[in-house]
Structure 1
């Protein structure tokens, strides 16, 4: 599963269907997970059974062997409608004991008292995980962490060396900050007379974060990406758009369409992961010959981290077993095993120092893996856990209005923040 697509329905759906009062508010469910590890629990994952059936069946068998008297029932749900399924289970009191979640999905469950606070129930495990990963499921306005961090992902920036060289840029010294990307993009557009764009995507909330924009107040009660630095970022993107250094179809682009633009060499730079290299080699040999690989663009010095988690139902009747199993799934041994089966990264402390993530063998695939693993040690999940799909749409629409000249960048972001704050109050 490509974690960086994040193409799952919004946590806001859960928030709408599941009123906080329906589950007794944030105090519902005891945080006490002490006691004997025994009994039957249900473990729900998200679009994993098709490719990893043997891995999870083996993992469950190992856990049951280590803990006689336990019985783990594995349920896998398709990505389509996953949030709706969680919402229905939460509202109906049938939420599984252990649930695969992303930070945005766990937030409304935590507010409703359905996600176990691990800072209280299992603080002894905190030291086993990367600090940024452990904090990824921390919800502003609510004390605690509400899921064990599981696998992580991040990716480099791919660039077309030939297109940079044609524009008079040094292909061995690609841009590393947003400012350098903007300057390079304008030069490429001038040299190609608007035929080659630097980027094919409009800025997302992650871009604002990586640019150094404060996204939200510490209390989690209001957004702040309309501050002067946010306006500055959107103003620079407007310059790119006007100069055709931002692909004209960027306003309606999807990850797939942006990738196609890069494949056909009409866009010079595109974010991706190690999984993309084989695709380049197969579908665009001429591009592959000229592919450049550099670090993710950031003006903060910290890359963006995508993270998946494993949540324990705060109302589980088998809480000791549920916590023990959630920890077992996400411990260092199991995460390393899983990371070697698919292009993801473990969230456990020390795992990224394994030779698998530090030693190159001369292949591009290993080069990407090593570079990504290094960046993950200090990476941040920039997307606020309270930033729902509806909010993403509000921001995207505001960006479009600014790029098209219908509103100034400042006015567009002010309106987006107002809309997002309104949605936040409704959740």
Structure 2
């Protein structure tokens, strides 16, 4: 299943432009990596901090944060620039090519990868290794780039989402509504049961498997060097084969091939499917628009064979060529440390990446509200979650996989043929970048 809502994670153009421009303009060399410039000197100087579509809603938070940092470190000045969501990748590409990349930059892993490969991202494992223990292991690892040694951004905010399920539909199929599926074996078994009992009227799922599903199933997605995709191995073929069984039995909604997060949500709202990912905003919508559904809502963890949920992670990168490395590293750490992340998390529906923060009562103590129910469920899963989406996988590559899955479900290609073709296409695109 897909977690479609990435609260505070803006969807923008992919890093394709970066991947094309940077090898021609940067001087990082074939091995990439920004090295480990010395960050131990005096914290001083003027640096520029760039965020990604945050000024409109969070200007007081960031101006206060900057003022606090400058007071803590006399002799520093932080100039804050905020770029719109539209064209953010292009803006990074232009700055990288022109040598005007800010000192501290808000990035997602897919945008970070080409910058790190071009030698423009500072390797924190060398320059700031002392801070690693302050962050969740999965979040710190989320900014490692296949084929490179090192970690290239401080983890910032995280997001994920639990699954909603309709207890009534499970009960009508003779299943224990208090024991929803947590593994893919359980999911497939119970989905077929629900479809069979309802004579194909009720599907359990409304969307096709994505790369995150392959990851949670335990499929190796790329080789260790980051030079080739591998999700067409036997385990990947097994997953797609089992989804084909669901599709044929109408346990996967027939419209899943063209479904959007919105259409999948509507299917769940009208009780045509039994499970769907979502957020606290959805729960409030159910309460107002579908009280009968709301009364039967269950909240459970993501389906996973690995025991680890999927997380979406945002980061803060330090420009390897900054003239003020100590100040840039100190500020990037300051933005992402536990106190600042907790304060930010209470202003927007995101989660801190710092170790221990998710044990705060804000993420553990029920208060009877829907928002808190979902927040607690998501926070618990994030403690051990990982970012399954390969950082080198572009939107175009995801489309290749999506199309291959559709061909297999429709019987136009076997699961193995479809995944073999998808891997070939993705590896070709990988080489082009």
Q: How would you bin the TM-score normalised by the shorter chain?
A: over 0.9
Per the alignment, residue 106 of structure 1 pairs with 112
The CA RMSD over aligned residues, in Å, is: 1.8
In 2, the alpha carbon distance for the partners of 1:366 and 1:93 equals 45
1:95 maps onto 2:101 in alignment? yes
In 2, the alpha carbon distance for the partners of 1:340 and 1:365 equals 12
In 1, the alpha carbon distance for the partners of 2:202 and 2:86 equals 35
| Shift in alpha-carbon separation, 1:12–1:170, aligned structure 2, 3 A | same
Mean alpha-carbon deviation: is it higher for 355-364 or for 341-350? 355-364
TM-score, normalising length from structure 2? 0.94
Per the alignment, residue 39 of structure 1 pairs with 45
| 1:189 CA displacement | 1.9
1:183 maps onto 2:189 in alignment? yes
Q: Point out where structure 1 has 5 or more consecutive residues left out of the alignment.
A: none
In 1, the alpha carbon distance for the partners of 2:157 and 2:192 equals 37
The 8 Å contact of residues 33 and 116 in structure 2, kept in 1 or not, is answered as no
The 8 Å contact of residues 36 and 124 in structure 2, kept in 1 or not, is answered as no
Q: 1:8 aligns with which of 9, 12, 24?
A: 12
| 1:194 CA displacement | 2.4
In 2, the alpha carbon distance for the partners of 1:91 and 1:426 equals 18
Q: 2:158 aligns with which of 133, 152, 156?
A: 152
List aligned pairs for 1:175-324, cutoff 5 A. 175-324=181-330
Per the alignment, residue 407 of structure 1 pairs with 413
In 2, the alpha carbon distance for the partners of 1:167 and 1:112 equals 55
Indicate the SS of the match to 1:41: strand
| 1:166 CA displacement | 2.5
| 1:269 CA displacement | 0.6
Show CA shifts across 1:391-415 (max 9, x none): 1111111111111111000011111
In 2, the alpha carbon distance for the partners of 1:70 and 1:143 equals 31
Mean alpha-carbon deviation: is it higher for 108-117 or for 277-286? 277-286
In 1, the alpha carbon distance for the partners of 2:93 and 2:185 equals 42
Indicate the SS of the match to 1:86: helix
In 1, the alpha carbon distance for the partners of 2:285 and 2:104 equals 35
| Shift in alpha-carbon separation, 1:28–1:163, aligned structure 2, 3 A | closer
Show CA shifts across 1:288-327 (max 9, x none): 1221111111111111111110011111122221111110
In 1, the alpha carbon distance for the partners of 2:319 and 2:348 equals 27
| 1:186 CA displacement | 1.7
Mean alpha-carbon deviation: is it higher for 5-14 or for 134-143? 5-14
The 8 Å contact of residues 30 and 315 in structure 1, kept in 2 or not, is answered as no
Mean alpha-carbon deviation: is it higher for 285-294 or for 331-340? 285-294
The 8 Å contact of residues 33 and 148 in structure 2, kept in 1 or not, is answered as no
Per the alignment, residue 17 of structure 1 pairs with 21
TM-score, normalising length from structure 1? 0.95
| 1:20 CA displacement | 5.0
In 1, the alpha carbon distance for the partners of 2:116 and 2:421 equals 28
List aligned pairs for 1:346-425, cutoff 5 A. 346-425=352-431
Show CA shifts across 1:341-362 (max 9, x none): 1221111111112222222234
The 8 Å contact of residues 302 and 309 in structure 2, kept in 1 or not, is answered as yes
Indicate the SS of the match to 2:181: coil
